[in-house]
Each structure stands twice: as C-alpha cells, then as structure tokens.
Amino acid sequence: MFGAILLAVLIPLGALAFGVRRELDRRLTREYQARVEAMAAVLESDLRRASGLVGQRLEAIVAQLSKDNRFRLAVQGDIASRPYLLDAAGQAMRLSGLSLLQIQHPDGRILSSGHFRNEFDRMEPDLPLLLESASDSLVLLRARTPDSSVLALTRIDSVRIGTRSVKIIGGVEADPRLLGGLARDSSLAVKLEYPGAAMASIPGSRIVRELRLPYIDLTAGSGVSSDTARLLVTQSLDALGSLRKGVTRWFLVALALTVLMAVVGAAWLSARVSRPLRDLAEKTTRVDLDRLDQSFATERSDEIGTLSRLLASMMERLRASSVRVREAERRAAVGDLARQVNHDIKNGLAPIRNVLRHLSQVLQQDPASLPQVFEARRGTLESSVEYLNTLARNYDRLAPGIERKACDVNAIVEQVISNISHDGVGIRAQLSPHPPLALADALVVRRILENLVGNALDSLSGKPGGEVTMSTERVGGAPEPARVRIVVADTGTGMTESELNRAFDDFYTTKSGGTGLGLSIVRRLILDLEGTLRVETQPGEGTRVLVELPTVPARESGP
C-alpha cells in the first residue's frame, strides 16, 4: 500500500517537475534571444555613438590646431616652438577627454604623442594608412605607453598645414568601464577579445553574439600588425542555473513532503483498516462450539463494519444451532438409557420366561416331576431375580457403579451358557482348568458375555450347523501381569471391514429390531473393567471376540 501511494504521487510529481523545467527553459531561452538581439542592436548603436564621439573630438582638436600659429610654426620646423609641439598632443588629449592622441607628420614621423609624450620622432608610416582604410568605423588600437600599453577605440582625422596633411589619431580607452557601459544588462556581458589577449572563456557563460572590429597592434615590436578583434556578448548562465537549481530544490522538497505524507497516510490507513481485520481474524480463530461467546459487535459503517456484522449474525446462528445440537444429544442420551434398561430387563426376564415355559410344559406332561424340576430350575429363577434385583438397584442409583473383586470366569461362562436359550444351536465351552481369578465385577462380566453370546447366536440364524464356542484361558505372566482371556467365537456370517469399523458405534446394527447398543455397551463396560477387546472376523466364516481382563494380584488369588 505504501509503495502504491508513493508511486501514485511520485509519477505525477516527477512529470510536473520535468514539465516546469522544460517550459522554463523554453521561455527563458526565447526571452534571452530577444534580449540578445536588443543588446546587439544597442551595442552596435553604442559603438556608432562612440565612433561619432571620437570623431567630434578629433574635429574639435583639428579646428583648434588649424588656428594655432605656434603649432603651425612647429610643424614647419621652428626650433623655438618645438617644446610646445611636443606637449600639444598631451594637452589636447587631456582637454578633450581622449585616452590616446597622436599627431603624425605626413611622412609617418610622430610629432607629438599624448599618451606617450617622449615617443616623438619615431616613425610609424603604416598606422595612418591602416586607419584610413577602415574609413569611418572604429579601429581597436593597442598603442605603447611608457610603462605599458593602452587599448583604444580609435579614428583618424587630419589637419592641413600648408601643403602638408598632418594626421591626428585619437581614441577612447576600451577599458572594462566602457564595455560595462555597452552592456546594460545584468545577465549579458561584453567581452573584448583580440590577438594576444587572454582567450580563456568565462566560466558559467556562453557567447551569444559577436561583433568584429579591425585591430592594430603597435606593441608587437615588429612593425605595425593588423588583425581582427571581436566584441563578444556573453550570457551568464548563472541566472538560468540558479533558476533550475531552485526548481529542482523545490521539487525535492515536494518529494520529501510526499514521502513523509505517504508514510503517515500508510500508517493511518494501516491503523484504520489492517488492525480491525487482524482483530477480526484473531476473534474468528478463537471460535469453537465451546466458545461461542465472541462478540463481533461494531458501530463502524465501512466494509469492516459490514464484515463484522456478517460474522456477528453467523455467530448468532451458530449459537442457536449449538443449543439444538445439545438438546438432540440430551435426548439421544435419555433414549439410549431407556433402551439399555429395556435390553437388560429383557435379558434378565428371558431365563425366567424359559423356566416358566419349562415348568408349564412339565405340569402338562408330567405333573409329578414338577417339584423335582422346579427344584432343579429354582437356582435359575433365583439368580435371574437376583440379577434383576441388582439391575434395579443399579439403575436406582442411576450411576451403576462397578464393584471389582475376584471372580471365577469359568463359573460365569457356565452360568451364561445355561441361562441362554439357544434353540438347536450348540454352545461349546472350552474352559481352562485353572484360570486365574479375574479382578472384575461378576455382574458386568455376565452382561458382557450375554451380549457377545447373543450376537454370536444372532449371526448363526439361518445358518444351520453353526456353533458358538466360549473358552477361557490364562495369558501373559511374568514379567507382564497375567490376564484372563475369554473368547466368544462363532461360525456365523462374519463382518466386512467397514462393518467391523462401525460395529462398536452407538446405534449401529445389522439386525432388524436391534438397538445397535449391544457392542457399544460391551466396549464401554470392558473399558470400565480396564480390560481389552479384540475382534477377529472374516465375512462368511465367523467372528472371534477376545476379551482380556486383569487378574487378581498374586497374593489375592487363591489356589
């Protein structure tokens, strides 16, 4: 989310910065172009003006000298006027405000020099010719002074003395002040470049226009040399550079603010969206059937609120379902108990019914033997009544307790065999002669065996010649504790693997009219006695149920 916000803000911002810089460049360049054109025009007009100014001053000097008799005499060779002539150029130069003034004889001899007074009599015949060939335009002249040189924008004029045309060369200094005056723009500068001067480019500026001037150098020594000088209009790139820097700086500031706001925004959104979702997830993981008290109540009106309300209504439905499930469980448990009671009573009444049926049969067929028969079956009646009586006591307590004590499993097996009705089916007992005494509740063992034998007999129905075998034996022993094993085997229908897997579940039955509780009760009772149960079955071949019970420890067991 953070990255997405950043991208969403940075890309438009970058495009804006790029656009602003580009537009700025374009406009400034256009503006500069116009200024450069204006500047070049001003420069040209200034140069024309400077040329006119020098021309006017030379004209004034010419007018003054042409009237000056001492000058006239000196030019014509009058010795007495010579000192006057030597100083004439200097005085005229200072009075006229020129920086260079040289008066030359037609033969090229310097008669008087304003900028280098003691240069008189030196021959310089080429200079006037070069200057005259430049007609009205200014010439950049580099002339010697006693200690250095002077660079002047120069023109030439002449004064006629008799038959001689005396040359008057004058100029104004091309110093930085003059050039600064030419450039009346803070970002544009005028630079004079001429042979021999430093040609190094000014850093941070570019040349936008150049004007050419004839250039004469008198300081080179080897005669007069003529060349070209350039007046360069340079544009300072500082302003543009600082403007660009400013835009970049503000862009970076905006960028920093954006990143900061994105971070803050992401943190806020996280607090607003992610945390409630995480909370909802945590609450959901805590929900199970035992904990349906999680509250998803909320007052939020956004998507999270909607989700919370959906979860809350689901919880409501879950709670209602849970109540219904518990009610069903309770009802099932009550039904189970009733069926168990019914089943146990039926098991207790069956021997009595058999005895009564036998007695009535004897009464009808051989009434005389009734007392003997009665006496013989009296034990069965009494034990059945006792069984029912115990059952009644147990159910009366509602929690039938188990009373574990030493009991003879052989005797119980025999009792079960004698009690059970097994019409035409053989029940064989293979009893160990000295089985150890089991540590168990005899009644519970009897219930287990009656259930198992009942099931075995059921599996033989419709299968003539079938047989049920009950056997006891001692298993285990040192070092493991010895155990009593009781096996109920039949040659009945057997079970498939899926039938076996479900055989001990509550309410599972393969018989019509069965409760499906017999084996599940058996398993529970064996677990109560701390015994084990194993079933070996093969469909079509029969089933062996092996029950192992703990024995009485050695000191408790009899011989």
- Whichever of 73 and 406 has its CB closer to other proteins, that residue is 73
d(CA 143, CA 148): 9
Using alpha carbons, list the distances in angstroms from residue 262 to 16, 73, 265, 558. 18, 95, 5, 89
- Whichever of 227 and 506 has its CB closer to other proteins, that residue is 227
CB of 111 to other proteins, least distance (A): 11
CB of 220 to other proteins, least distance (A): 8
CB of 96 to other proteins, least distance (A): 22
Q: Which of 460, 438, 433, 430 is nearest to 529 (CA)?
A: 438
Tokens of 368: 């005389």
- Whichever of 197 and 411 has its CB closer to other proteins, that residue is 197
Amino acid at 335: G
d(CA 262, CA 258): 6
CB of 226 to other proteins, least distance (A): 18
Sheet strands side by side (includes 426-430): 426-430, 467-475, 483-490, 542-550, 532-538
Q: Which of 457, 394, 389 is nearest to 428 (CA)?
A: 457
- Whichever of 187 and 225 has its CB closer to other proteins, that residue is 225
CB of 122 to other proteins, least distance (A): 6
- Whichever of 119 and 441 has its CB closer to other proteins, that residue is 119
Is there a contact between 485 and 410 (Cβ–Cβ < 8 Å)?
Answer: no
CB of 58 to other proteins, least distance (A): 23
Site residues (CB under 8 A) for other proteins? 82-83, 86, 116-122, 144, 146-148, 219, 221-222
- Whichever of 86 and 233 has its CB closer to other proteins, that residue is 86
Pinpoint the alpha helices (H) of 68-140: 69-75, 82-96, 126-133
- Whichever of 111 and 182 has its CB closer to other proteins, that residue is 111
Is there a contact between 435 and 471 (Cβ–Cβ < 8 Å)?
Answer: no
**DSSP codes, 401-447:** ----EEE-HHHHHHHHHHHS--TT-EEEEE--SSPPPEEE-HHHHHH
Amino acid at 250: W
CB of 221 to other proteins, least distance (A): 4
- Whichever of 124 and 441 has its CB closer to other proteins, that residue is 124
- Whichever of 2 and 120 has its CB closer to other proteins, that residue is 120
Tokens of 467: 């047989």
CB of 80 to other proteins, least distance (A): 11
Q: Which of 378, 394, 510 is nearest to 447 (CA)?
A: 394
- Whichever of 147 and 403 has its CB closer to other proteins, that residue is 147
- Whichever of 124 and 450 has its CB closer to other proteins, that residue is 124
CB of 161 to other proteins, least distance (A): 20
Other C-beta atoms closer than 10 Å to the C-beta of 406 total: 16
Is there a contact between 422 and 457 (Cβ–Cβ < 8 Å)?
Answer: yes
- CA 506, chain centre distance (Å): 54
CB of 119 to other proteins, least distance (A): 4
d(CA 484, CA 431): 11
Residues shown for the chain = 559
- Whichever of 144 and 422 has its CB closer to other proteins, that residue is 144
- Whichever of 143 and 427 has its CB closer to other proteins, that residue is 143
| Eight-state DSSP code of residue 129 | H
CB of 86 to other proteins, least distance (A): 6
Is there a contact between 140 and 231 (Cβ–Cβ < 8 Å)?
Answer: no
Q: Which residues of 272-393 form beta strands (DSSP E)?
A: none
User: What φ, ψ does residue 555 adopt, rounded to 5°?
Assistant: -65, -25
**Could you give the angle at the alpha carbon of 59 between the alpha carbons of 58 and 61, nearest 5°?**
65
Other C-beta atoms closer than 10 Å to the C-beta of 223 total: 9
d(CA 415, CA 22): 112
CB of 95 to other proteins, least distance (A): 18
- Whichever of 144 and 502 has its CB closer to other proteins, that residue is 144
Dmax over CA atoms of the chain, in Å, equals: 207
Is there a contact between 192 and 179 (Cβ–Cβ < 8 Å)?
Answer: yes
CB of 85 to other proteins, least distance (A): 9
- CA 62, chain centre distance (Å): 91
Q: Which of 320, 386, 318, 378 is nearest to 348 (CA)?
A: 386
Is there a contact between 51 and 44 (Cβ–Cβ < 8 Å)?
Answer: no
d(CA 470, CA 476): 19
CB of 164 to other proteins, least distance (A): 21
